[in-house]
Amino acid sequence: MIITRFAPSPTGGLHLGHVYSARAAWTLARAPQPFEQRAPEQGARAASGRFVLRLEDIDTERCRPEFADAILADLAWLGLDWDGPVWRQSDRGPVYAAALAHLRDAGLAYPCFCTRADIAAAASAQHGPDGAIYPGTCRSLSDAERMARSQSMSPAWRLDVAAAAARAGPLLWHDDDAGTVAADPCAGGDIVIARRGIGAAYALAVVVDDAAQGVTDVVRGTDLFAATHVQRLLQALLGLPAPRYHHHRLVLASDGRRLAKRDTAQTIAAMRAAGATPHEIFIMLDMAPLA
């Protein structure tokens, strides 16, 4: 049975880009035939698969309960109904802690005490790409240094990606468009798998939860294509199955720009308030430029 998911972060209102993803995931689970022939507002339901919902709300500073409530209300209004209870990552700290402990015990995760400013300074000193790739500063700290530093600040945890990739060996993953992809997890450097004071980070939580929710098919935008490489590695290290991936093109605003959270006119809430119907929103989506 196909199980797809929609996993928004409640840091703002739902916009057209989210609905594109949610509709594509809903359609794959519910309606094997082309979406146009089985629109959710027509109440059609093939019951061939499951569509589950997960709120990725571990970032307590940016996520707000009112955004979460509004996302659920917008999805229900659109007719994108989901199966089972809504999962909230904020409820799942102990599960992520166990996954982190597994990676730490395997010697593949290390504490990082760097601030954003430290990372930017180190990267620019090395003429690196603007702090995007972590330069590995804390990878080789001694146990004594780690102990001393953790007296004054709680660390983030990073994956030692080269060691992890060597441990896991070559890995493949499947993408609908790209076909069989050889995982290249090192390209993104030693990613954070647990943020300071939070105990988890997106890459760790997403693989743990996709597996725990039994997701067979991940449907999401091409902006997350590159992130899949290291997610595949984390799946291998944690003994989790690899779902199939469907990375879809991104919805652009009518002027061709990428949709941003600040484009509040493009939120579903704003369109609803202006009198749009779900059907009109789906038509708008069908006509929207894609990148």
Give the interface with ligand GLU as residue ranges (CB under 6 A): 7-9, 56, 206, 220, 224
Q: What is the rounded CA–CA span in Å between residue 80 and residue 278?
A: 10
Q: Half-sphere exposure of residue 19, counting CA atoms within 13 Å on the CB side?
A: 30
Please, what is the minimum distance in Å from the beta carbon of residue 246 to ligand GLU? Answer: 11
Of residues 9 and 216, the one with the C-beta less far from ligand GLU: 9
Please, what is the minimum distance in Å from the beta carbon of residue 64 to ligand GLU? Answer: 14
Of residues 110 and 228, the one with the C-beta less far from ligand GLU: 228
Of residues 156 and 208, the one with the C-beta less far from ligand GLU: 208
Within 8 A by CB and 6+ apart from 165, the residues are 185, 186, 233
Please, what is the minimum distance in Å from the beta carbon of residue 18 to ligand GLU? Answer: 7
Please, what is the minimum distance in Å from the beta carbon of residue 54 to ligand GLU? Answer: 8
Of residues 205 and 281, the one with the C-beta less far from ligand GLU: 205
Of residues 162 and 269, the one with the C-beta less far from ligand GLU: 269
Please, what is the minimum distance in Å from the beta carbon of residue 220 to ligand GLU? Answer: 4
Please, what is the minimum distance in Å from the beta carbon of residue 232 to ligand GLU? Answer: 13
Of residues 208 and 271, the one with the C-beta less far from ligand GLU: 208
Within 8 A by CB and 6+ apart from 290, the residues are 249, 250, 251, 252
Of residues 164 and 218, the one with the C-beta less far from ligand GLU: 218
Please, what is the minimum distance in Å from the beta carbon of residue 8 to ligand GLU? Answer: 5
